[in-house]
């Protein structure tokens, strides 16, 4: 099969501090997980190449800081984004409650031509903790939120156990591609 087209997709990952944004990216790109928490300061991106249908796709994944004092991104940073990945921790209610904010703030900053159809995807991370016994946000509740926001795709993930991480990012790439 010939790879007729190359595509660069810009993906931005947002969500509360500590939900596992950096860990999900590290697992996806480097197949590595660290128990140790090191807050992201500012922002940085990693890239991953993948083949989708007849296209060679470069995913440019921008990690952002959840801690407010480390958020120093200008509006220009969000411009040209093809997809926004929202992440929360299924064991922390506050990280779910702030999703509305992250969603709204992203649209305000990125200012896409058609906000109502801009592609988002939601990841509920850390489903491994305590075998799921300490989760406080049900899958049903998360899916209802996604439905209310115009059918945002939803994945439950564990960066630690590499559960659903590849599937989630493949879906992210496809979602971003649809917007490109």
**What does the binding site for ligand GTP look like in residue numbers (CB under 6 A)?**
17-23, 34-37, 39-40, 65-67, 125-126, 128-129, 158-160
Contacted entry of Mg ion, ligand GTP, none for residue 125, CB cut-off 5 to 8 Å set by kind: ligand GTP
What's the full length of the chain, in residues? 180
Of residues 57 and 64, the one with the C-beta less far from Mg ion: 64
Contacted entry of Mg ion, ligand GTP, none for residue 133, CB cut-off 5 to 8 Å set by kind: none
Q: Residue 64 belongs to what H/E stretch?
A: strand 55-64
C-beta of 28: minimal distance to ligand GTP in Å?
Answer: 12
Q: Tell me the helices (H) and strands (E) count for the chain, helix number first.
A: 6, 6
Contacted entry of ligand GTP, Mg ion, none for residue 95, CB cut-off 5 to 8 Å set by kind: none
Please report whether residue 22 would count as binding Mg ion according to CB under 5 A: yes
Q: Which residues contact 34 (CB under 8 A, 6 or more apart)?
A: 23, 26
DSSP for 66-87, please give it.
-SGGG----HHHHTT-SEEEEE
- Contact (Cβ atoms closer than 8 angstroms) between residue 86 and residue 120: yes
C-beta of 109: minimal distance to ligand GTP in Å?
Answer: 16
Of residues 55 and 163, the one with the C-beta less far from ligand GTP: 163
φ, ψ of residue 101 to 5 degrees: the values are -65, -50
Please report whether residue 27 would count as binding Mg ion according to CB under 5 A: no
Of residues 112 and 171, the one with the C-beta less far from ligand GTP: 171
φ, ψ of residue 84 to 5 degrees: the values are -120, 125
- Contact (Cβ atoms closer than 8 angstroms) between residue 12 and residue 84: yes
Q: Residue 166 belongs to what H/E stretch?
A: helix 165-179
Please report whether residue 64 would count as binding Mg ion according to CB under 5 A: no
Please report whether residue 125 would count as binding Mg ion according to CB under 5 A: no
Please report whether residue 40 would count as binding Mg ion according to CB under 5 A: yes
Contacted entry of Mg ion, ligand GTP, none for residue 17, CB cut-off 5 to 8 Å set by kind: ligand GTP
Total residues contacting Mg ion (rule CB under 5 A)? 3
């Amino acid at each position: 099969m010939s790879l007729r087209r190359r595509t660069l997709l810009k993906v931005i990952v947002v969500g509360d501090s500590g939900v596992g944004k950096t860990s999900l990216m590290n697992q996806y790109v480097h197949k590595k997980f660290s128990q140790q928490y090191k807050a992201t300061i500012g922002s940085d991106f990693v890239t991953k190449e993948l083949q989708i249908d007849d296209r060679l796709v470069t995913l440019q994944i921008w990690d952002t800081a959840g801690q407010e004092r480390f958020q120093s991104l200008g509006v220009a940073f969000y411009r040209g984004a093809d997809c926004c990945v929202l992440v929360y921790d299924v064991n922390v209610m506050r990280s779910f409650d702030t999703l509305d904010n992250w969603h709204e703030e992203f649209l305000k900053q990125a200012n896409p031509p058609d906000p109502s159809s801009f592609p988002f995807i939601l990841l509920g991370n850390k489903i491994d903790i305590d075998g799921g016994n300490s989760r406080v946000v049900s899958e049903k509740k998360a899916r209802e939120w996604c439905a209310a926001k115009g059918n945002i795709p939803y994945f439950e993930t564990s960066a630690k156990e590499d559960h659903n991480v590849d599937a989630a990012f493949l879906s992210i790439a496809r979602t971003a591609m649809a917007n490109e």
